[in-house]
Amino acid sequence: MHAEPEVAVLRYGHRPGRDDRMTTHVGLTARALGADRVVFPDNAGQSKETVEDITDRFGGPFAVETTDAQKAFVRNWEGVVVHLTMYGERVQDVQDEVRAVHREEPVLVVVGGEKVPFEVYETADFNVGVTNQPHSEVAGLAVFLDRLFDGRELDREWESADRTVLPMETGKRVVDPSEADAMEMANGAKGDESGDGSADDV
Amino acid sequence: MHAEPEVAVLRYGHRPGRDDRMTTHVGLTARALGADRVVFPDNAGQSKETVEDITDRFGGPFAVETTDAQKAFVRNWEGVVVHLTMYGERVQDVQDEVRAVHREEPVLVVVGGEKVPFEVYETADFNVGVTNQPHSEVAGLAVFLDRLFDGRELDREWESADRTVLPMETGKRVVDPSEADAMEMANGAKGDESGDGSADDV
């Protein structure tokens, strides 16, 4: 997340059709929660398009790439590899160590879809479980990133957006980014929350 | 999460087929990250079965219910209603207040699927955005619960499980819960991590 070593997310495995939404959600979660880029298997072109489209509209920087060699991508990563798996060490036990390494080195977070080969468990510097319960790779990624960045990702600012959502108590308000900046300057950090609650969609 | 007022998660809206996996992941995330129950729309029977099956195998208590009246369920909730939406107030700004209310009252977390009616925005005591960016309702729920419970949910113990995953540096290890208990007593809180790394699936 800028001025820090890079964080990339690799979605390992993708079944076109069946996994489209999950893979897209992995990419959007990576973007929203502070990663610098996501890498999809090369058969996930539809998810790539969706995440790029959101980045075009809501801002970046955020890169979306594909690879035709996932295992090699993990093996050749120059930095630390964190593989999220329900079989791994408890996130609460290893997060301090991972944060410390991230101050020095780029982090690759591997998020499994279909079965992840054992080689990935062996290559990873950390196999990490966000709980040792079966739930969702998207949920695991979200909690991991929030803890890796210690919440700093929530204050990230977005560049080159053509729309910005203003946080509101009730309703929906989407404005031009320059308008959002002007409101912030006029009203302090929280912005003007007197929107009309109209249901413009993003 | 036991000895505290209840936390329930309502999945608002479900399109059978298209939403099955997302709805299932909402339910599994609710279970894994400390909620006491999930409530699905009554057309999400397949997701209900999956979450119940996981609870049977990996433990509880965790309840899965359905409703044929989602709006009324929100309106009649006796406690505080938190609606997760990218248009809402920033989670980092409201989390202390929500935590304080949760010490006194049950919390209903509403997680939208298809379009959520404006009435839900108005009924909610808090509309909360885990970022004001489009990403994933599963990711938003995960970060929200982790922050609501301040990480306590990760130390939750499970009852009536017929299998337990032991956290490991490398590999997979699934054991009978009584075996896990015995290992914990013998080795301290971290358990024995000398597994063989065999790839038994859950």
What's the complex ipTM? 0.91
Is residue A62's pLDDT more than 60?
yes
Is A141 domain-assigned?
yes
β-bridge mates for residue A159, sequence order: A60
Q: State the amino acid at position A170 in one-letter form.
A: T
**Chain B residue numbers touching A54 (CB-CB < 8 A):** 134
* Residue A63: C-alpha distances to residues A25, A49, A81, B17 (Å): 15, 11, 19, 31
Residue B142 shares a structural domain with residue B176: no
- The reported pLDDT for the residue numbered A2 is 63
User: What CATH number is given to the structural domain containing A61?
Assistant: 3.40.1280.10
Residue A109, SS3? strand
Residue A97 shares a structural domain with residue A196: no
Handedness of CA B83, B87, B91, B94 (dihedral sign): negative
Residue B80 CA to residue B126 CA, distance in Å, equals 8
Computed on alpha carbons and rounded to an integer, the radius of gyration of chain B in Å comes to 18
Longest dimension (CA), chain B: 55
Is B1 domain-assigned?
no
Is A1 domain-assigned?
no
B109 close to A (CB below 8 A) = no
Residue B19 shares a structural domain with residue B51: yes
Min Cα–Cα distance to chain B from A171, Å: 6
Residue B140 shares a structural domain with residue B90: yes
- The pLDDT tens digits for A116-142 are 999 999 999 999 999 999 999 999 999
Q: How confident is the model at residue A197 (pLDDT cuts 50, 70, 90)?
A: very low
Residue A151 shares a structural domain with residue A190: no
Is B130 domain-assigned?
yes
Q: Are strands B174-175 and B164-165 parallel, antiparallel or unpaired?
A: antiparallel
Residue B198 shares a structural domain with residue B144: no
Is B88 domain-assigned?
yes
Q: Do A139 and B134 touch (CB under 8 A)?
A: no
Q: How many domains does chain A have?
A: 2
Residue B77 shares a structural domain with residue B141: yes
**Chain A residue numbers touching B127 (CB-CB < 8 A):** 168-170
Torsion of Cα atoms, A92 then B28 then A24 then A197, to 10°: -100
Residue ranges in chain B modelled with pLDDT below 70:
1-2, 184, 186-202
β-bridge mates for residue B11, sequence order: B111
CA B95 to centroid of chain Cα atoms:
17
Residue B167 shares a structural domain with residue B151: no
**Chain B residue numbers touching A86 (CB-CB < 8 A):** 165, 202
A residues 111..130 contacting B (CB < 8 A) = 118, 121-122, 124, 127, 129-130
B90 close to A (CB below 8 A) = yes
Is residue A198's pLDDT more than 70?
no
Is residue A15's pLDDT more than 60?
yes
Residue B167 CA to residue B171 CA, distance in Å, equals 9
Is A33 domain-assigned?
yes
Is A150 domain-assigned?
yes
- Paired tokens of B82: 């938190």
> Left if phi > 0, otherwise alpha if psi is -120 to 50, otherwise beta: which for A64?
beta
Min Cα–Cα distance to chain B from A166, Å: 7
Residue A147 shares a structural domain with residue A171: no
Range of the domain at A115: 7-155
- H-run or E-run covering A10: strand A7-12
Q: How confident is the model at residue A3 (pLDDT cuts 50, 70, 90)?
A: confident
Reduce the secondary structure of chain B to three states and give it as a string.
CCCCCCEEEEEECCCCCCCHHHHHHHHHHHHHCCCCEEEEECCCHHHHHHHHHHHHHHCECCEEEEECCHHHHHHCCCCEEEEEEEEEEEHHHHHHHHHHHHCCCCEEEEEECCCCCHHHHHHCCEEEECCCCCCCHHHHHHHHHHHHCCCHHHHCCCECCCCEECCCCCCCCEECHHHHHHHHHHHCCCCCCCCCCCCCCC
Helix, strand, coil share (%) of chain A residues, nearest 5: 40, 20, 40
Backbone phi and psi for residue B91, each to the nearest 5 degrees, phi listed first: -55, -40
Q: Which residues contact B170 (CB under 8 A, 6 or more apart)?
A: A121, A122, A124, A127, B197
Residue B127 shares a structural domain with residue B169: no
Residue B39 shares a structural domain with residue B79: yes
Is A12 domain-assigned?
yes
Last residue of a domain, one of A135, A155, A175: A155
Q: Do A118 and B199 touch (CB under 8 A)?
A: yes
- The pLDDT tens digits for A71-97 are 999 999 999 999 999 999 999 999 999
β-bridge mates for residue A89, sequence order: A128
Residue A117 shares a structural domain with residue A174: no
